[in-house]
Structures are given as structure tokens and as C-alpha cells.
């Protein structure tokens, strides 16, 4: 979860967020390099300015350069972007499928792979929070998922538009009434990951947090058997 005065992205906890961080760093590096080149060119051109007329718009080599440069920048940005989008949306042989349904203003989770588990997840009020729990982020029932295995999250909504987002997992998916959207979830370690609804959905939009807890497979199977 983020901390006060944090300027960077949240720490990646899985391959999806790692792709997001890689793409962010790649585009940032290209932007800085492009800015540096433009500044150096402007400084050099200014210092080397001559007093007579020099119609640079008629120089074919310069016209070719300022046409080719943006094309190369777009290609260097687009290729890793397409790769990241493909990897972020590729669902293959998930260990478990979880359906998340947005309501005003809570989430309902349903495990659909051969089990019959369904529960609502409400935000814990400030006066009821255990010591050390984050305010406005903790819930009474967390979404449990296995670590180091792919989980498929299927998201929809019951009433209005919502958005299921967990930044440290690199996931943000719209919850649209009457429509099912899906994304893969996977983590490289156990832990508790916090998120919030990211689509303004009404008066209590700020009070429907998301908490995903990644646990070892053995504990997850035990939890499934105890809840089923």
C-alpha cells in the first residue's frame, strides 16, 4: 500500500505490476532522452545562429529527420505497450475463478470453480478498526487467493458503474452492469493488498475498499474446505 510522501509507484507484487513498472520506466527514459536531445539541439542552433537568412524549412535532410524521429519514438513506445497489454490480459489455466460484483456500496465475491462460496465485503468503520489497521481500507471479509498461481477475476456490477482496482497487483477493471470483464491475477509472494473502487459510483464511493489476501496454496485449500 502507498505511504505518505511516496513519489514512486507501489511495489510490484506480481508479473502484471512488474510489466506496468517496466513500461513506465521505459517511457520515462524515452521522454527524458527526447527532452535532452531537443534541448541540446536548441542550444546548439541558438549559439550557432548566423546573421544572414538561412531557410531551414527547405533543407531536405532536416525535414526527413523531424519526420523520422517521431515515428521512431512512437514505435519504441508502442511495441512494449502492446506486449504489456497482451500479457496483462492473457488468462491461461487459472487455478481458481472469483467473481466480484460491485454494489452500492460494497463488493460481493463468489468462488465458482466447483465450490459454493459467496460473501459480502464491507468496509470496517473507523471506530471498529483493530489497532494498526489502515483507515478506510480494511474490510470485514477479505478476498482470499492463492499465491504463485494464476487467479481469474471476473468483474461485474449490480446497479451502477464501479471499478475493481488494486494498484500493487497492477489491476484496474471496470464493473459494468450486465457485462462480465475478466483479468488474470497472480502474485509472487504472500501478503495483503489494498485497493478501492476507482469509478465514481455515488455518495459512498470512497467507502467500498478492496482487500486481496494472497496465501500459500495449502492454506487456501484449507480455507476453501472450511468455507464450503
State the sign of the Cα–Cα–Cα–Cα dihedral 85, 172, 135, 14: negative
pLDDT at 114: 75
pLDDT at 113: 77
> Which strands sit side by side in the sheet containing 181-185, from one edge to the other?
117-121, 106-111, 96-103, 151-157, 181-185
Per-residue CA distances from 174 to 81, 123, 142, 190, 214 (Å): 20, 20, 20, 25, 22
pLDDT at 107: 95
CA-based nearest residue to 171, from 226, 89, 96, 114: 89
pLDDT at 57: 56
pLDDT averaged over consecutive 10-residue blocks of the chain (228 residues)? Answer: 71 79 86 88 76 60 79 85 77 85 94 86 90 88 91 92 91 92 88 91 92 92 83
pLDDT at 51: 58
pLDDT at 91: 65
CA-based nearest residue to 101, from 90, 112, 115, 113: 112
pLDDT at 184: 86
- Global confidence as pTM: 0.76
Please report the domains of the chain, with CATH numbers, ordered by start residue. Answer: 15-89 (no CATH), 96-227 (2.60.40.420)
pLDDT at 165: 92
Whole-angstrom Cα Rg for the chain? 24
Amino acid at each position: 500500500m502507498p505511504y505518505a510522501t511516496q513519489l514512486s509507484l507501489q511495489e510490484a507484487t506480481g508479473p502484471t505490476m512488474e510489466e506496468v513498472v517496466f513500461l513506465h520506466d521505459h517511457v520515462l527514459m524515452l521522454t527524458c532522452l527526447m527532452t535532452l536531445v531537443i534541448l541540446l539541439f536548441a542550444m546548439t542552433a541558438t549559439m550557432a545562429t548566423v546573421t544572414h537568412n538561412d531557410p531551414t524549412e527547405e533543407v531536405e535532410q532536416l525535414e526527413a529527420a523531424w519526420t523520422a524521429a517521431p515515428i521512431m519514438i512512437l514505435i519504441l513506445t508502442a511495441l512494449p505497450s502492446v506486449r504489456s497489454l497482451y500479457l496483462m490480459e492473457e488468462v491461461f489455466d487459472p487455478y481458481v475463478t472469483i467473481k466480484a460484483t460491485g454494489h452500492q456500496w460494497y463488493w460481493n465475491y463468489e468462488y465458482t470453480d466447483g465450490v459454493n462460496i459467496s460473501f459480502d465485503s464491507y468496509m470496517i468503520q473507523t471506530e471498529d478498526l483493530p489497532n494498526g489497521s489502515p483507515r478506510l481500507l480494511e474490510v470485514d471479509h477479505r478476498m482470499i487467493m492463492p499465491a504463485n498461481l494464476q487467479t481469474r477475476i471476473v468483474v461485474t456490477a449490480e446497479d451502477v458503474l464501479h471499478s475493481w482496482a488494486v494498484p500493487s497487483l497492477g489491476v484496474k477493471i471496470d464493473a459494468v452492469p450486465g457485462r462480465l470483464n475478466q483479468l488474470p491475477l497472480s502474485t509472487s509472494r504472500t501478503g495483503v493488498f489494498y485497493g478501492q473502487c476507482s469509478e465514481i459510483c455515488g455518495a459512498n464511493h470512497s467507502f467500498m475498499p478492496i482487500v486481496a489476501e494472497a496465501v500459500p496454496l495449502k492454506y487456501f485449500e484449507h480455507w476453501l474446505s472450511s468455507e464450503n
